[in-house]
Structure 1
Amino acid sequence: MSKPHQKFDLTYMMNRSTLFLITLFVLGFAVSRAGAQTAEIRFEKNTVERGSTVRGVVVLDLPEGLHVNSNRPESEYLIPTTVVVKASGIRAGKIRYPKGRDRTFKFSSDALNVYEGRVEFPFTLTIPKQLRNRTIQVSAKVDFQACTDEVCYLPDSRTAGSSIRIR
């Protein structure tokens, strides 16, 4: 014969377990959404001549519902999006940051300058005439803080890599 408090304990434990599983699911969804940004490097040409300049772009794709602060956010307390491009033996030209879009969100009464969707950061590489390499490895690092309309996630970064053939 079971005691009345044993039934209560079992129901209580089942409710706690269900609540725990729901919390894990919601947190897992939020974390996967926060990590869904991707970055890549694209070039106008796959092969370039020594002594020439090639245009490239770092592309940051943000899923719907997420935004990142622009490179020039409206407040000193906001984390700007920054891009660094490095190439083996070559100095990359200045990154050209696009204008962001002013938006208001639930967590701020002031408009914030943000990037959403696909964001392109153009740059150039000038290939020295005396370069001996036949291939240049190029890497990019994008630092940002992703946010929804209600919450901001921890600052994060994405890296991308590509190569260009030299003639």
Structure 2
Amino acid sequence: MKKVILSLIFAATLIFGANVLTTFAQGEVNFSGSIGNGKLQKGKSATATIVMEIPNGLHVNSRNPGSRYAIPTKITVTGTGLKAGTISYPNGTTKKFTFSEEQLSVYEGRATFRFNVTVPATFKGNVAKLRAVISYQSCSDEVCYRPRTGEVTLSASVR
């Protein structure tokens, strides 16, 4: 019985450990977002927020990474019946890495992006939805991973 339990623990460690390593090896980051406090009024504006969570040991090139070879972070927002304003990208942290001769501007840990959303007075419906597509390139201290695209849907009730 003891051998069976130890075998199950070992197998679970391999499975979950491999999943964590695979995510890290592929350079994936997580995204979440919100519009205001989740409630909008017709004819009014609110601030929308997108949060990029970057795992320890990785960084993501900022909007202006400082090298023509580094792929910048770019966010595209679409939605029906709403007006999305200009996205405010946070400043990156300037760092030197072994894979680049130039210093690069990067995001680490958590990066928060904001923009205004306006709901027209003539908006039809009681739920507003926006789709944000985030193009980014993540790197470790030694190598950059292939560019990726993340997506997050932002929604709020409208009254």
Fold in common (TM above 0.5) = yes
For 1:117, give the aligned amino acid: G
**Does structure 1 conserve the Cα–Cα contact (< 8 Å) formed by 2:81 and 2:120?**
no
**Structure-2 separation of matches of 1:158 and 1:56:** 17
SS in 2 for 1:32: helix
How far did residue 36 of structure 1 move?
Answer: 3.6
CA separation of 1:53 and 1:28: change in aligned 2, threshold 3 A: closer
SS in 2 for 1:109: coil
Matched, 1:55 2:44: no
Q: Deviations over 1:55-112 (max 9, x none)?
A: 0111110000101111011112210001112222222111001111100111123211
* 2:83 matched residue in structure 1: 91
Matched, 1:44 2:26: no
User: Could you tell me which of 112, 116, 119 is aligned with 1:124?
Assistant: 116
For 2:23, give the aligned amino acid: S
Q: How many residues align?
A: 142
* 1:9 matched residue in structure 2: none
Matched, 1:32 2:32: no
Q: Deviations over 1:129-156 (max 9, x none)?
A: 1112211111111110110000111000
**Structure-2 separation of matches of 1:35 and 1:74:** 20
Q: Deviations over 1:28-74 (max 9, x none)?
A: 76542134411111222211110000101111100001011110111
The worse-fitting range, judged by mean Cα deviation, of 86-95 and 63-72 is 86-95
Can you give the 5+ residue segments of structure 2 that lack an aligned partner in the other structure? 1-17
Can you give the 5+ residue segments of structure 1 that lack an aligned partner in the other structure? 1-26
Q: Name which one, 1 or 2, has greater alpha-carbon Rg.
A: 1
Scaled by the length of structure 1, the TM-score of the pair is 0.79
Runs of 4+ in 1 over 6 A off after TM superposition: none
Scaled by the length of structure 2, the TM-score of the pair is 0.83
Q: Over aligned residues, Cα RMSD in angstroms? A: 1.8
* 2:67 matched residue in structure 1: 75
SS in 2 for 1:63: coil
For 1:162, give the aligned amino acid: L
**Structure-1 separation of matches of 2:19 and 2:158:** 44
